[in-house]
């Protein structure tokens, strides 16, 4: 068996490290060819010591320069590339078969598209690629010329669960789903699903990042607390599975055992269950259509207590409603919402605005955009997407500054 050669975009994050853990369990199947990250050069240096990739890349130029020096001191010959161009280069390496796309935020769009256009099998954990330019991205998947099918495999636990519950003939993302009535995404509800609403005004970044079930990065942990993450997953599901917003439902499931459902026209509902460990969907995507050991403990059904489900409270989770609103608006509304959220979450983590201000900023930016023709104009090129994203961020920063000023008075 020839080994599958991998590039990991976002290698130092939680998804990247989980992928490396799975791959290391099967050295006969997987070879780490390239590792890329944003700016965590120290962590990437340690990974280079362990996995000895031929290439590594950092978006941050200064961090890349420090990494070059460090690897020389370590006697490691990995070639270090830098900047957006360097990360795109490792995403499209001719010798690579599969690319994990796990760089978070808008920064992941260009390298993920580069991998798709180079005909790689892409394991998608960067939902922003679809939120920012869903039609553009899925068209690139369809015309990529990838020789491995399916060319796109979702790694998010919810979308991977849906993928697993689909008929074999429909397991090519972006195709129609005959016989499917709706898909149901589960959500843990984050750390504040039972917190009195008035107390949310005083939530700290540390509290918002303390997810009760999943171990994630700070940004995605805040998104989980506001349920913006689930809203972005609704948008992602629309593009991956071709379902309208009206056929995508969200339910709160605090135990995070059922990862999503697919409801069929005949009344059947299929679900994928598993421990809340990202190594399961990663292993499924890496080895598809086979199954491999992921190092995850199987469920003990005799020991499980009740599995509960509930509808999310709109007043507690306004970000979820904003995502549906953006999806229904079409055009570049989803892109605008994502940009506003990234700016607002960063401001919250830096203690410039409060927790409840995140939704307020997103609402204000989306409303301001909807008063113009912008949401009715979908990006037709990557350059359009980047331009619209930058414009939305400028508006969001203005709203953040206004709220920060009021907090200081």
User: Mind listing the pLDDT tens digit for each residue in 158-174?
Assistant: 999 999 999 876 666 65
Q: Identify whether 80 is part of a domain.
A: yes
Token pair, residue 213, equals: 């079930």
Cα 74 to chain centroid distance, Å, stands at 33
- pLDDT grade, residue 143 (50/70/90)? confident
Q: Identify whether 37 is part of a domain.
A: yes
Q: Identify whether 31 is part of a domain.
A: yes
Q: Identify whether 74 is part of a domain.
A: yes
Q: How many CA atoms lie within 13 A of 324 on its CB side?
A: 12
Q: Identify whether 10 is part of a domain.
A: yes
Q: Identify whether 11 is part of a domain.
A: yes
Q: Identify whether 88 is part of a domain.
A: yes
Q: Which residues contact residue 275 at a Cβ distance below 8 angstroms, ignoring those fewer than 6 apart? A: 257, 296, 297, 298, 299
Token pair, residue 270, equals: 């299929």
* Number of neighbouring beta carbons within 10 Å of residue 204: 12
Question: Phi and psi (nearest 5°) for 11?
Answer: -65, -25
- Number of independent structural domains in the chain: 1
DSSP string of 39-103, one letter each residue = S-HHHHHHHHHHH--SEEEESSHHHHHHHHHHHHHHT--PEEEEHHHHHHHHHT-TT--EEEE--
- pLDDT grade, residue 345 (50/70/90)? very high
Q: 340 or 142: whose pLDDT is higher?
A: 340
- Its pTM stands at 0.91
Q: Identify whether 15 is part of a domain.
A: yes
Task: For residue 15, give the CATH number of its domain.
Answer: 3.40.50.720
| pLDDT score at 1 | 63
Q: Is pLDDT at 145 greater than 90 in this prediction?
A: no
User: Mind listing the pLDDT tens digit for each residue in 252-275?
Assistant: 999 999 999 999 999 999 999 999
| pLDDT score at 374 | 63
Q: Are 116 and 140 in contact (CB under 8 A)?
A: yes
**Which domain, by its residues, includes 119?**
4-148
Rg of the chain over CA atoms, in angstroms? 21
Question: Phi and psi (nearest 5°) for 195?
Answer: -75, 135
User: Mind listing the pLDDT tens digit for each residue in 81-124?
Assistant: 999 999 999 999 999 999 999 988 788 889 999 999 999 999 99
């Amino acid at each position: 068996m020839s080994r599958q050669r991998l590039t990991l975009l976002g290698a130092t994050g939680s998804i990247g490290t989980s992928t490396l853990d799975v791959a290391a369990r099967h050295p006969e199947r997987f070879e780490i060819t390239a590792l890329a990250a944003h700016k965590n050069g120290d962590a990437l240096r340690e990974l280079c010591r362990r996995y000895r990739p031929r290439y590594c890349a950092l978006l941050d130029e200064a961090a890349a320069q420090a990494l070059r020096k460090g690897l020389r001191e370590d006697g490691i010959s990995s070639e270090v590339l830098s900047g957006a161009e360097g990360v795109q280069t490792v995403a499209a390496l001719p010798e690579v078969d599969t690319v994990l796309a796990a760089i978070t935020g808008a920064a992941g769009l260009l390298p993920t598209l580069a991998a798709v256009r180079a005909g790689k099998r892409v394991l998608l954990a960067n939902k922003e690629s679809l939120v920012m330019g869903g039609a553009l991205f899925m068209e690139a998947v369809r015309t990529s010329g990838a020789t491995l099918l399916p060319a796109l495999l979702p790694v998010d636990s919810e979308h991977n669960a849906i993928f697993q519950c689909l008929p074999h003939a429909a397991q090519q993302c972006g195709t129609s789903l005959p016989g499917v009535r709706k898909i149901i995404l589960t959500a843990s509800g984050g750390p504040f699903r039972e917190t009195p609403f008035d107390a949310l005004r005083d939530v700290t970044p540390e509290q918002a990042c303390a997810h009760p079930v999943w171990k994630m990065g700070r940004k995605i942990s805040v998104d989980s607390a506001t349920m913006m993450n689930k809203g972005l997953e609704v948008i992602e599901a629309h593009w991956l599975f071709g379902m309208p917003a009206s056929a995508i439902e969200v339910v709160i499931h605090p135990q995070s055992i059922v990862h999503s459902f697919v409801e069929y026209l005949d009344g059947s509902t299929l679900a994928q269950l598993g421990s809340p460990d990202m190594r399961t969907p990663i292993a499924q995507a890496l080895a598809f259509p086979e199954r491999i050991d992921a190092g995850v403990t199987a469920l003990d059904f005799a020991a499980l207590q009740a599995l509960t489900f509930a509808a999310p409270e709109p007043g507690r989770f306004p970000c979820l409603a904003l995502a549906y609103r953006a999806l229904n608006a079409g055009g570049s509304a989803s892109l605008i919402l994502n940009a506003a959220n990234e700016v607002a979450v960063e401001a919250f983590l830096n203690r410039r605005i409060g927790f409840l201000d995140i939704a307020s900023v997103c609402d204000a930016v989306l409303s301001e955009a909807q008063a113009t023709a912008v949401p009715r104009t979908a990006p037709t090129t990557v350059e359009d997407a980047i331009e619209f994203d930058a414009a939305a961020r400028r508006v969001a920063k203005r709203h953040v500054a206004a709220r920060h000023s009021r907090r200081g008075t």
